[in-house]
Structure 1
């Protein structure tokens, strides 16, 4: 995509968005409802004409080669839109016929998808009798029935219970890793985006604000980094003394507060309870653990701390809210990993 824009009257739903998705990659579009994610997917698939910019899908222009683009892509919309009067199997067979699959190949593919997605027992039930989660699974099978190289998934786990949602996420991962598929995923589910995506683009009001790996996004917007270290009861005083000496050395600082937090320093040390010490800052965790072990202090657990994608998302919105006078939000460089 290069500077893609789509308007509805005076509303700019997609505003000069540019990014590439590499073959075999899962890229997520993360944003609130109304951010422009669904509109962008419809533009990519040729269902909406862009008002500006350029779209290419496997080298094809969706506006002039729409039928070829749709043959190469599998699309899952937020709502299943099944034919309620057809059975699960018939819904898949109709879509296989629309995509001109030979009958024998279609039958094999439909049966495989029914098995893989746990729909075999529901194969002869009318779609109107299926639960919302099952309908969504049928819609996913329909998107895969013609074995597309590219998947455009709009909120794929909507209306699913946690177990079904986990199964779908696993299926998406398997499709990419085992079958070398490419996925563009639209979601407002932060956990889903972090679990699935190689790169994540954060969209707000039609604009791509940031694009990068989860790790790159965390580095870009900061947050708490460090570790919580658990020792044996009675060992925390010794452990704290060792770590405190390390923190003082690293910070070039001597005084500490009563709760053992180093003042105005890049490292902070705090005793949380009789067994747990928290160290935050640009911490090299193996070095800290090595210090404790060297002094024969028991280390039962080390839990790294880093910002979640939710922290990143909230921090970005807070950053934009704090500086409305700074101008265009797109002054943030979207390609944080560049």
Structure 2
């Protein structure tokens, strides 16, 4: 049985569809990523799966429990780290953990043992009596993860776990998440708009755009499906350039974007001179040309025609629409 099963899950806020007919399965012990820009529907999906938000239609099961019929069972079997801070800054780390453990009715002796173990796991045991308001962003995130593990959940939800953290702290936190999965076998579902985060942590990645899954597979498979190398050419006459290079032999795919063309093909280095000569003979200017191996950014670009950064502006507007609908 899968840890999570989702079938045709949909959420609407008035006329705005935040999540549109999602279907996927997450295996036990898997780290599964929902990758996409702000406003793509990632957090809304997490909110439905964790029973904080009721779907408009569709079904989902978490640890075998129906998210609509078995809300209490779902909540008992999951841990969650919210995108927004949820710690009490006027309490110490230990007090935050103790309060949370009491809510789950963990017996006193067991409670003290688990708190000590988890604070050691995230390397906060020496600062357990410090007020949370004195903690850095990375320390708070680690404490939230430890708190989410107190009741030994089978599935851990991480909503943008490293948002706003500096690169060094982000890498440190990635190590903790990887260890949790490897050592404790916890199924982890995380949302992110960081390509490197999804690449480093996730066994499989679902790329979400405008509430829909546009691609789902391992990172390597998604990148390999684009084919070979990627040549990116910036030109003020991209449409004319497309007409010139579309006949180039060996092309796996070619895409026209806002100010550039991307070409997927093998052994790109051998074709660069040919492309430059073809453009020059046709009088088409080339501003810049570069070669790289496919990335998840290229996958997103391939399926949507836009980079994930370009989608951010659209995503923020969608979030504002959703907030207005909620009001």
Fold in common (TM above 0.5):
yes
Within the alignment, does 1:117 sit opposite 2:153 as a pair? Answer: no
Per-residue CA deviation, residues 26-59 of structure 1 (Å, 9 max, x unaligned), is 1100010111100100100111111100010011
Correspondent of 2:181 among 173, 176, 180: 176
Corresponding residue for 2:145? 140
The 8 Å contact of residues 136 and 160 in structure 1, kept in 2 or not, is answered as no
Corresponding residue for 2:52? 47
The 8 Å contact of residues 206 and 215 in structure 2, kept in 1 or not, is answered as yes
- Superposition deviation, residue 63 in structure 1: 2.2
Within the alignment, does 1:15 sit opposite 2:2 as a pair? Answer: no
* Residues 216 and 137 of structure 1: CA distance in aligned 2, closer, same or farther (over 3 Å): same
SS at match of 1:86: coil
Q: In 2, Cα distance between the equivalents of 1:203 and 1:90? A: 38
Corresponding residue for 2:198? 193
Corresponding residue for 1:292? none
SS at match of 1:56: strand
Which stretches in structure 2 are left out of the alignment for 5+ residues? 1-5, 232-246, 252-263, 268-291, 308-327
Corresponding residue for 2:298? 311
Alignment of 1:1-338 (within 5 A): 1-222=6-227, 224=229, 264-266=248-250, 281-282=265-266, 306-318=293-305
The 8 Å contact of residues 136 and 159 in structure 1, kept in 2 or not, is answered as no
The 8 Å contact of residues 136 and 158 in structure 1, kept in 2 or not, is answered as no
Count of paired positions: 252
SS at match of 1:18: strand
- Greater CA radius of gyration, 1 or 2? 1
Greater relative CO (CA pairs within 8 A, separation 6+): 2
- Superposition deviation, residue 123 in structure 1: 0.8
SS at match of 1:169: helix
Q: In 1, Cα distance between the equivalents of 2:230 and 2:207? A: 22
Higher strand share: 2
- Superposition deviation, residue 281 in structure 1: 5.0
Per-residue CA deviation, residues 140-189 of structure 1 (Å, 9 max, x unaligned), is 11111112110111011123232322222112112222221111110001
Report the TM-score, using the length of structure 1 for normalisation: 0.70
- Superposition deviation, residue 199 in structure 1: 0.7
Per-residue CA deviation, residues 59-84 of structure 1 (Å, 9 max, x unaligned), is 10122221211111110111221112
Report the TM-score, using the length of structure 2 for normalisation: 0.72
Per-residue CA deviation, residues 236-289 of structure 1 (Å, 9 max, x unaligned), is xxxxxxxxxxxxxxxxxxxxxxxxxxx94439xxxxxxxxxxxx9546xxxxxx
